Amino acid sequence: MRYLTVIAALAATSFAAPTPEALRGSTEWSPTLAGYFDLVYKHIQDARQRGGKPPTCDLSKASLPVAPTPLEFLPDYTLEHVAIGRGTQNYTCANATATPAAAGAVARFYNISCMAADYPNLVPLASNLAYERPLPEDPLAPFGPTGLELSTHHFFSNGTTPVFAFDAPSSPSLGRVFAQKAGDSVAPANAIQNENGVIPWLYLTSRSTTEGDIRAVYRVDTAGGSPPATCKDQPSSFTVDYAAVYWFFK
């Protein structure tokens, strides 16, 4: 399979080379997978033509995507980390006629900081690829065919407080972020939707209980995650798969 040959060349770039274990069961062809590795291959060819100069991984070069309804951004924010989140948005139903109520989220985040800095056109493709792939059985394993390393665990400490815990062996030292919603925007029209739509982009600010220097988190490049319009035929609690890209600023 051509993509396995491409993967073998990834060590020459800032892309992580996936292990055989990460690849096993994760290389089924899809248009998203094909588009992702076609673009990776083009970047590898470009790097070879430039004499194999390594990418810089300079986060000052990375640009946060602009939401359809622009999200507030303070001029003194400094980018510290970018990650793809893959997990579930969680919902509850009081009765069959109710509207599903948001009940937090659970996700694993995978480090794409260098990708965002050096190959930004790969980022939305990587998020869409994550959406269509299951999480690895090993909770500490790299993510599927991309070989991205685990960086963060995402969950809610209560119904309204998202938490981003940098507590994995491969995590950067960014502590534990307790956040609150400060703004949102509908996702772009080309976002990948489930049968019910797609979750919005978000701007989150850190609470006083945050451990570390992160001040703001942006959720962008969302895919899926949206619940049905009503609770008809739904259990009292249920989950919906989603993926998104998260930008962390101090």
Q: What is the mean pLDDT of residues 78-99?
A: 97
pLDDT score recorded for residue 24? 42
Is residue 250 scored above 90 in pLDDT? Answer: yes
pLDDT score recorded for residue 1? 28
Helix, strand or coil, per DSSP, at residue 205: strand
Is residue 25 scored above 80 in pLDDT? Answer: no
Q: What is the mean pLDDT of residues 118-141?
A: 93
Is residue 27 scored above 60 in pLDDT? Answer: no
Is residue 84 scored above 60 in pLDDT? Answer: yes
Domain boundaries, the chain: 55-65+76-249
Grade residue 32 by pLDDT with cuts at 50, 70 and 90.
Answer: confident
Q: What is the mean pLDDT of residues 40-68?
A: 85
Q: What is the mean pLDDT of residues 173-178?
A: 98
Share of the chain above pLDDT 90, in %: 75
Instruction: Encode pLDDT of 176-213 as tens digits.
Output: 999 999 999 999 999 999 999 999 999 999 999 999 99
Tally of CA atoms within 13 A in the half-sphere of 202 that contains its CB: 18
Is residue 104 scored above 60 in pLDDT? Answer: yes
| CA 182/CA 105 separation, integer angstroms | 17
More confident residue, 58 or 46: 58
Is residue 123 scored above 80 in pLDDT? Answer: yes
Structure tokens at 113: 């900081």
CA distances (Å), 56 to each of 44, 119, 122, 126, 140, in order? 15, 11, 16, 20, 26
Is residue 118 scored above 90 in pLDDT? Answer: yes
Share of the chain above pLDDT 70, in %: 88
Arithmetic mean of pLDDT over the chain: 88
Grade residue 49 by pLDDT with cuts at 50, 70 and 90.
Answer: confident
pLDDT score recorded for residue 163? 98
Q: Of 44-48, 64-68, 81-85, which range is least confident?
A: 44-48
Tally of CA atoms within 13 A in the half-sphere of 66 that contains its CB: 2
* Dihedral sign of CA atoms 108, 114, 116, 121 in order: negative
Is residue 87 scored above 80 in pLDDT? Answer: yes
Grade residue 154 by pLDDT with cuts at 50, 70 and 90.
Answer: very high
Q: What is the mean pLDDT of residues 89-99?
A: 96
